[in-house]
Amino acid sequence: MIHQVPDGPEIHYEVTGNGAPVVLIAGTGCDDTWWAQQRDVFARQYTVITPHMRGAGASTIYRDPESYSSQVMADDVASLLGALDLGPAHVVGHSLGSCIAQQLAIRHPAAVASAQLHATWAYADEWLRSAFIATTDDALARGDRQAAFRTVKMWVFSPHYLATRTPARVADTVTAAFITNPHLEAGPGLRGHLHADRHHDTRSQLAGIDVPVLVTAGELDASFPPRYSRWVYEQLPRARWHLFTGKRAAHAFNIELAEEFNHVALGFLADQDQTKE
C-alpha cells in the first residue's frame, strides 16, 4: 500500500493483524524486512503497521542527503497514522527508527500511546560520528557500495553470527533484508539516513516525553554501544530499561535474539494494555 505525504514522499507500508495499532520503524537503510521475526508474532494480538521510511525500501528516495532528518521522517509517520485513522499507536523503533520514534513522541504526542526505543541515542557525539556513521558514509561517497555493505555487516551483527551464519532463521532474515531484497538501496537514500543519524539531537526534549517508554540495548552493540541508550533512559520520566546480553547481543538483537526481544517487547505492550483496563 502507498500513502502520499502532502508535499512529501510516497510512503509504502503494510498493515496486518487486528487489535491496538503498533508501528514498527526500521533503522538506517532498512525497510519492513528488518521486522521479519516480529511482524507475524505481533500481528497475533495487534494491528501492525510497517512503513518503509523515505529513502528506504519502495518509498520515495530523495537525492539530497540533507533533506533527511529524524524530524521529517517522524512527520511522515504522523501523516500515515492520520490517514489510516489508527492513532494513538504504540511505536516501536530500532536504531534510526528509535530516533524517529523519539521525534514522533515529541512533535506529535497525540499520535503516540507508548514508545519502544531499541538501540537508541539522543545525539551523535564525535565517536559515533567517526565510527559507524563516517565509515559507512565514506565508502558510499567513494561509490564503493560493496565496501559499504561489508562495513555495515561488521557494525550490525555479532561476531558469533558472522563466524557461523547460524541459526538458519537468522541467516534467512539477513538474506531477505540485505541480499535478495529487491528494494535494497545503497546510494542517496542510505546517505540521507546517515545524515539523519549524524544530526539527530533530542537532548533538551527527552524529559518532555510523557508516555511509557521501553529503552533497550545490546551489550555487544559495536555501532551504538549501550551507553547511548542508557543515557536516553535516564532522561525519560516514564521509562523501563532492558539490556540484552550474551554472544548474540549485537546491534541486530531483534533478529539474533528474536525470541527474547519479542518476549520483552510484547510484555511491555501487555503492561500498557492492562494499564488501560
Would you state the pLDDT for residue 181?
Answer: 73
Q: Residue 267: enclosing H or E segment and its boundaries?
A: helix 258-276
**pLDDT, tens digit (0-9, with 9 covering 90-100), for 162-195:** 999 999 988 888 888 777 777 666 688 999 999 9
Q: What pLDDT does 234 receive?
A: 98
How confident is the model at residue 175, as a pLDDT?
82
Instruction: Check if the beta carbon of residue 223 is closer than 8 Å to that of residue 249.
Output: no
How does pLDDT run along the chain (277 residues), one tens digit per residue?
Answer: 999 999 999 999 999 999 999 999 999 999 999 999 999 999 999 999 999 999 999 999 999 999 999 999 999 999 999 999 987 999 999 999 999 999 999 999 999 999 999 999 999 999 999 999 999 999 888 888 788 888 999 999 999 999 999 999 888 888 887 777 776 666 889 999 999 999 999 999 999 999 999 999 999 999 999 999 999 999 999 999 999 999 999 999 999 999 999 999 999 999 997 776 5
The cell for 274 is 492492562
CA distances from 46 to 13, 271, 272 (A): 16, 14, 13
At residue 180, the 3 state secondary structure works out as coil
**Confidence (pLDDT) at 277:** 57
User: Residue written as cell 558472522?
Assistant: 162
Task: Print burial letters for 41-65: b (CB count within 10 Å at least 16), e (below 16).
Answer: bbbebbbbbbbbbbbbbbbbbbeeb
Q: How many other C-beta atoms are found inside a 10 Å radius of the C-beta of residue 87? A: 19
Joined grid coordinates for residue 223: 555501532
**Gyration radius of the chain over CA positions:** 17
Kindly state the helix (H) or strand (E) to which residue 48 belongs, with its residue range.
Answer: strand 47-51
Global pTM reads: 0.96
Q: What is the DSSP string of 183-224?
A: T---SHHHHHHHHHHHH-B-TTTGGG--S-EEEEEETT-SSS
Q: What confidence score (pLDDT) does residue 124 get?
A: 97
In 3D space, the residue among 155, 180, 176 whose CA is nearest the CA of residue 147 turns out to be 155
The angle at the Cα of 66, spanning 65 to 71, to the nearest 5 degrees, equals: 110
Query: Hunting for cell 516525553 — which residue is that?
Result: 209
CATH superfamily of 2-276: Alpha/Beta hydrolase fold, catalytic domain (3.40.50.1820)
Q: What order of strands is seen across the sheet that includes strand 239-244?
A: 2-4, 10-16, 47-51, 21-25, 89-94, 112-118, 213-218, 239-244
Q: Can you tell me whether residue 10 is helix, strand or coil?
A: strand
State how far the Cα of 72 lies from the Cα of 75, in Å rounded to an integer.
5
Amino acid type, 229: S
